[in-house]
A and B are shown apart, each in its own frame.
Chain A
Amino acid sequence: MENFSFERICALLRYDWTLHKRKFLMTSLIVMLAYIVLAFVCFLVSAELGVDTVNASLPNKMVQMWSLYFATASSVMFIVVTTLLTEKFCYSRSATAYLSLPGTSLEKYCVMAVEYFIGLVSVQFIGLVMFLMTMGLGFLCVPELDWNVNYFANVWPYIGMDLDKLFGEQLGEQLATIKHSTPIYLALVQQLKNLVWISSMMEPVDWIASIALHGVICMFFKSNVQIKAILLELLLLVAFVIVLIVLICGWAGYAKMNNLGADYFFGSLDNLIAAIKYYVYLTPVLAAAFCYIFYRQLRCKQAK
C-alpha cells in the first residue's frame, strides 16, 4: 500500500479528535436524544392503534420499548452520525484546512472510521446511562410488578447466549448466576457488552457497509459537489425512517385487526426489525457501489 503510514493516521487522529471531540460527542448525544423521541413516538402510535397493552406490565413495556430502541438504534446511528460526520469532513469550514493536511485519502478515511467508532461507543454509553435511569424509575414506581428473567431473554436474544465465549467460562458462570437472580444485572451486562463490543462489531456487515459508503462518498465528493453527498445521505436517512415508521404502524394495525396481543406484536417486531436491518445493509452497499463507479469515472476524467 503506497504511502500508508500508521504514525500519520495517529497524528491525524490526534489532530482531528483534539479539535472536534466536543462537537463530536455533542452530536452523538443529540442524535441519541432524537432517537429516543422517535422511539417514544413509535411506542405511542402503537398504543394509540389499540395494540393490547393490558397484558403487558409497565416494566415489560418499557423493556419492549428499549428493546425496539436498541435494536434499531445502531442502524439509525450509522446513518445519522455519519451523515453529520460527512458534513464535518466535506462541507464545514474546517474541511478546507483538513483536506490540505498531509495524509492520503485512505489515511483520512481511517481517521474518520476510528472517530466514527468512538462516536458509537459514546452513543452506547449514553444509552447505558439512560437505560439504567429508566430501569431505576421502573423499580421505584412499580416494584411489585413482574420482572421475569425469561422476558429479557426473549426480548434480547443476545443475552446469555455467548457470555462464556465473551467473558470466559468462570465469569460466564458467574454472570449466568446473576442472570437467574437479578435481571437488572443481566440487562446491565448486556449494555456493558454493547459498550465493549458495540453492536456494530456483532453486526459487522452493517458497520463495514456504512463505513464503505461514507468513505467512498468522502473520496468521491472531495472536489466541489459535496452538497450532493449530504443530500444523498439525507435521502437515505429519510427513506429509512419513513420505511421504519410505515412498517411499524402497519404491523401494529395488523396486530389490532387480528386481535393479537402485545407479546405477539412485539415478538414479531423483532423479526420485522431484523428485516429492516437488511434494508439498511443493502442500501449503503448499493450506494457505495454506484459511488465507486462514479468516483472512478471522475478520476479518469481528471487524468486526461
Chain B
Amino acid sequence: MIKTNNLTYAYVKGHTVLDRISLDMPSGHVYGLLGRNGIGKSTLLKLLSGALLGEGKYLVGDRDPRRREVDFQQSVRLVPENEALYDIDIRDYAKITRPLYPTFSDEMLKMALAEFQVPQDVKLTEMSLGQQKKALVSLSLACNTPYIFMDEPTNGMDIPSKSIFRKLVAGMIDENRTIVISTHQVDDLVGLMDYVTIMENNGILLSDSLEAIGQKYGTEDIKQVFCRLVSNRNLNH
C-alpha cells in the first residue's frame, strides 16, 4: 500500500515539481504512471523510494521513506531512467547487489536474462542501450522486493523485448507486491497495468483502475483518455 497526502516537492525553492499530491495505491497491482516529459513522474518515484525527501505525509507500506530505514530500503528497488553504467558484467553486478537484498532471487535473474537473451559475460558499457535496460531491469526484478519502481524501463527496448518485459512483470505480481512503472509511452504498458495515474501540471489528473476509467470515460484506451483529459484541462486554463 502506497499512500500520499499532500506530498509536495521542489528542487529549487519557488519552483514546485509536485504540488500537494494525494494518492492511494493498494498492493497487488501494476500501476502505470503516465504524463508528459518533465511533469514529475521520476521525482515521485525517487520520493517514494527515499532518494529524495519531500514534504507532506507519505507512506510506502507502513514506512515513511524519508526515514530511510534499512528494512524499508530492503523492500524497495528503484530502477532510475538514467542509471549510471559500469565496466562490469551483469553477473558481477548481481554478485555485489545480492548481499544487500535478503529477498534476492538467483532463479529470477537467470530466468529474466534468459528471456531477454542478455549475455552475462559482456560488460554493461559494451552493451547497446536496449541490452543495458534489459540487464538492469532483470537485476531489479531479481531483487524481488515488495515494491518495485521503474522509471521509463522500456526506453531503448525493441518490440519483442517490450513484450517479454510485460510478461516478466505480470508474472511477478501478487497480493503483496506493488509495481509502479513510469512512462510516457502508454502503448508499452497496455495489458500490463491495471491501475493508471496520469500526472499533469504538478498534480494528479486521474488515478483509478482501468475498469473504473472504462466505466467513467466509456473506453479503456488510456491514450485516448489521456489526450482528452489533457486537452480539456488546457481548454479550461
Contact = CB atoms under 8 A, between A and B. Distances in A.
Interface of A: 3, 5, 7-8, 11-12, 14-15, 18-19, 22, 92-97, 99-105, 222-224, 302
A102 B74 contact: yes
B84 A102 contact: no
A4 to B, nearest CB: 10
A193 B53 CA distance: 44
A2 to B, nearest CB: 9
B53 A223 contact: yes
Nearest to A93: B84
B52 A223 contact: yes
B92 A18 contact: yes
B110 interface: no
Contacts of A94: 83-84
A99 B50 contact: yes
Q: Which 8 A-B pairs have the closest CB atoms?
A: A94-B84, A11-B99, A102-B73, A223-B53, A15-B96, A102-B74, A100-B49, A96-B51
A19 B88 contact: yes
Given A93-B82, A302-B53, 19 more contacts: A8-B100, A14-B99, A15-B96, A15-B100, A18-B86, A18-B92, A18-B96, A92-B84, A93-B83, A96-B46, A96-B51, A97-B78, A100-B49, A101-B73, A102-B74, A102-B101, A103-B70, A222-B53, A302-B55
Nearest to B9: A224
Interface of B: 9-11, 46, 49-53, 55, 66, 68-70, 73-74, 76-78, 80, 82-84, 86-88, 92, 96-97, 99-101
Contact of A105 (B52, B68, B78, B82): B68
Contact of B88 (A11, A18, A97, A105): A18
Say whether chain A's binding surface is mostly helix, strand, loop, or mixed.
helix
B14 to A, nearest CB: 13
Given A19-B88, A97-B78, A223-B53, A104 B68 contact: yes
A97 B62 CA distance: 22
A18 B11 CA distance: 30
B69 A3 contact: yes
B51 A11 contact: no
Contacts of A11: 96, 99-100
A11 B88 CA distance: 17
Interface centre among A8, A94, A224 (most CB of B within 10 A): A224
A61 to B, nearest CB: 42
B149 to A, nearest CB: 9
A173 B87 CA distance: 47
Contacts of B84: 19, 92-94, 97
28 contacts: A3-B70, A5-B70, A7-B99, A8-B99, A8-B100, A11-B96, A11-B100, A18-B86, A18-B88, A18-B92, A18-B96, A19-B84, A19-B88, A19-B96, A22-B87, A93-B82, A93-B84, A97-B78, A100-B50, A100-B51, A100-B77, A100-B78, A101-B73, A101-B100, A103-B70, A104-B68, A104-B70, A105-B68
A96 B66 contact: no
A12 B99 CA distance: 9
A19 B125 CA distance: 12
Nearest to A7: B99
Nearest to B149: A100
Contacts of A102: 70, 73-74, 100-101
Nearest to A223: B53
Nearest to A107: B70
Contacts of B83: 93-94, 97
Given A22-B87, A224-B11, A97 B80 contact: yes
